[in-house]
Amino acid sequence: MADPKSSAEEALQTSMGPILFKIAMEQQSIKEVFGLLKKIFKLFDKGTGTISTKDLLSLRSYGLLSEKGAKRLESYHTAQPGQWRFREFAAFFVIDFLKPVESKSDEKEPELEIDLPDEINKQIAPVAFRLDARADDSKRIFTLFLKLFELFEPKDGKLAVKEMNRLVEGNFLEEAQLKKLEEVDHAKTGYLTADSFLAFWIHHFVEELEDEEEKAHAALKSKLGPIIFKIMLEQQHIKELFDLLQQVFNVLDGKQKGLVEKKELEVLRGLGLISEGGVKRLQSWPTAKEGFVDLKEFIAFFSAEYVRKEFEVGDYSQGKEEDIPEKYLTTLAPIVFKLSARHLDLQRIFNLFKQFFEVFDSKKKGSISKEELVKLKDEEIIDQEEIDDLLTWDTARKGAIDFNEFLAFWVAHFVDETNILSKEKKKAPKEKEQDESSPEGVVALLKIHKENFKRTLELTRKLFTLLDKEKKGVAASDLSVLTSSGFLDDDAFKSIKDYKTSSPGMFTFPELLHAIALALT
């Protein structure tokens, strides 16, 4: 005779299979819902990984939390009273979402006047709309977990925690995952309610999502790190090159109106500063004023042309000398000569921005979506205000940024910095007037270069942090990135390799700083 217990077990496994299969099929949809919830969570998270109950209550004004749901908040357990981790926030939101809707005869909920910062208000409404649009889908998906709970035939709405072992026996869960039950059975009752059962599964999915995000973040950081580091090292060169391009613009802008006609720029073809194809591209280059370019648009256009590598500065075969008016020939030629000498620098620098762009344009579509741009904020490269500014370069209103627009944004950023730098230069004492033979004179020179010196120390600290992979306060002596990036030549790098450290093969931060200083001097 068949064992009744074994038959019941087989029946349970047979019943669970289709539901778990449906849940597996809906994993992408589940992650998308959690992705939307994560967007809301991040708006309130001030870098602690938690949000407050007060933050959660503000969601009532967007219809994401009912008045009765707000009251249920008081009885919901969190690891840190009054503070919510994302998994707790997601679990409560889904559980509350599946509660029966209050009847129309219930007391009308009061209208709320919650004063949220404009930045949050502007971003939360679209996300709330998208969540609302998925309401029916979400309810259908998360109800599957409640059906799974019912299969265990809970007594009086309670399921013994030990019953969850049957999911391990059926290879639906791993034993290590069951240890997470402690997070939902916080009172150690040994039982799960439908809510805590659902919370367990939500914690499970959120953990998977966070693992994926962490891996994606690490992968992104490993790609971005070297590029950003190189761009930071090139900042002074970028400003100097933009200053030369600004000089070209100023010559063409004879009346100093801040605008130059596009047809006026064709004169630069004779100096090899623009190719025949570039002249045609210039006509369709988007500008704020039809037929004219301002300084930022001018530099952005030429930056994009350098990335194309279609011409060389100072290649006079691009045009004829007689095409160049005398007034320009004498004033522009010296500036173009300087640009010509730095031609390779220009291409190298602007290609860094191309690499920067391609990290986010992983599918090679030639554009970066709004969602991808948010990663720039997550990586603390730019803030929300700068993201909004970047989107203003989306002149076609397509909801994405192509490379030219991306480059134009960064050009504008550096042009602003260059202008500030030029003003500061005028105020600063001249370096040649300082006496380097006395400590006072050297300190005076250090004061002039204080910001650059400070920035160099910050970048060296950042480099050390990246190399200190085990976070033990020491970095491996393999510093090949210093030569591969072109920062040090072979002789200088040999000096670093020969540097005697207190721990063989490892650098402390002061040792790394000292070694680089010796190598450079």
Which burial class, exposed, middle or buried, applies to 13 when counting CB atoms under 10 A from its CB (0-12, 13-18, 19+)?
middle
133 within a domain of the structure (yes/no): yes
DSSP 190: S
Task: For residues 111 and 33, state if they share a domain.
Answer: yes
Task: For residues 169 and 274, state if they share a domain.
Answer: no
Domain termination residue (choose one: 370, 397, 426):
426
- pLDDT, residue 431, reads 45
Q: Which residue has the higher pLDDT, 269 or 476?
A: 269
Domain termination residue (choose one: 396, 426, 456):
426
- Count: domains in the chain: 3
132 near 63, Cβ under 8 Å? Answer: yes
Task: For residues 13 and 136, state if they share a domain.
Answer: yes
Residue 430 — pLDDT band, cuts 50, 70, 90? very low
| Domain harbouring 500, CATH code | 1.10.238.10
Q: Which residues of 304-331 are buried (b: 16+ CB within 10 A; e: fewer)?
A: bbbbeeebebbeeebbeeeebeeebeee
- pLDDT, residue 2, reads 45
* Closest CA relative to residue 134, chosen from 24, 20, 23, 34: 34
Task: For residues 279 and 408, state if they share a domain.
Answer: yes
Q: Is the dihedral of CA 482, 487, 489, 491 positive or negative?
A: negative
Task: For residues 31 and 156, state if they share a domain.
Answer: yes
385 within a domain of the structure (yes/no): yes
The encoded tokens of residue 180 equal: 């997470």
Q: Count the neighbouring beta carbons within 10 Å of the beta carbon of residue 68.
A: 15
Residue ranges of E strands in 314-424: 367-369, 400-402
User: Which of 61-70, 98-107, 325-334, 512-521 has the weakest average pLDDT?
Assistant: 98-107
pTM, two decimal places: 0.51
278 within a domain of the structure (yes/no): yes
Give the range of the structural domain holding residue 480, as residue numbers without chain letter.
441-520
Residue 330 — pLDDT band, cuts 50, 70, 90? confident
DSSP 437: T
Task: For residues 365 and 342, state if they share a domain.
Answer: yes
Task: For residues 184 and 141, state if they share a domain.
Answer: yes
Residue ranges of E strands in 274-418: 292-293, 367-369, 400-402
Backbone torsions φ then ψ of 252, nearest 5 degrees: -70, -30
Task: For residues 295 and 323, state if they share a domain.
Answer: yes
Task: For residues 302 and 413, state if they share a domain.
Answer: yes
240 within a domain of the structure (yes/no): yes
- pLDDT of 410 > 70? The answer is yes
224 within a domain of the structure (yes/no): no
- pLDDT, residue 115, reads 56
- pLDDT, residue 44, reads 85
Task: For residues 107 and 178, state if they share a domain.
Answer: yes
* Closest CA relative to residue 293, chosen from 328, 260, 249: 260
Task: For residues 240 and 386, state if they share a domain.
Answer: yes
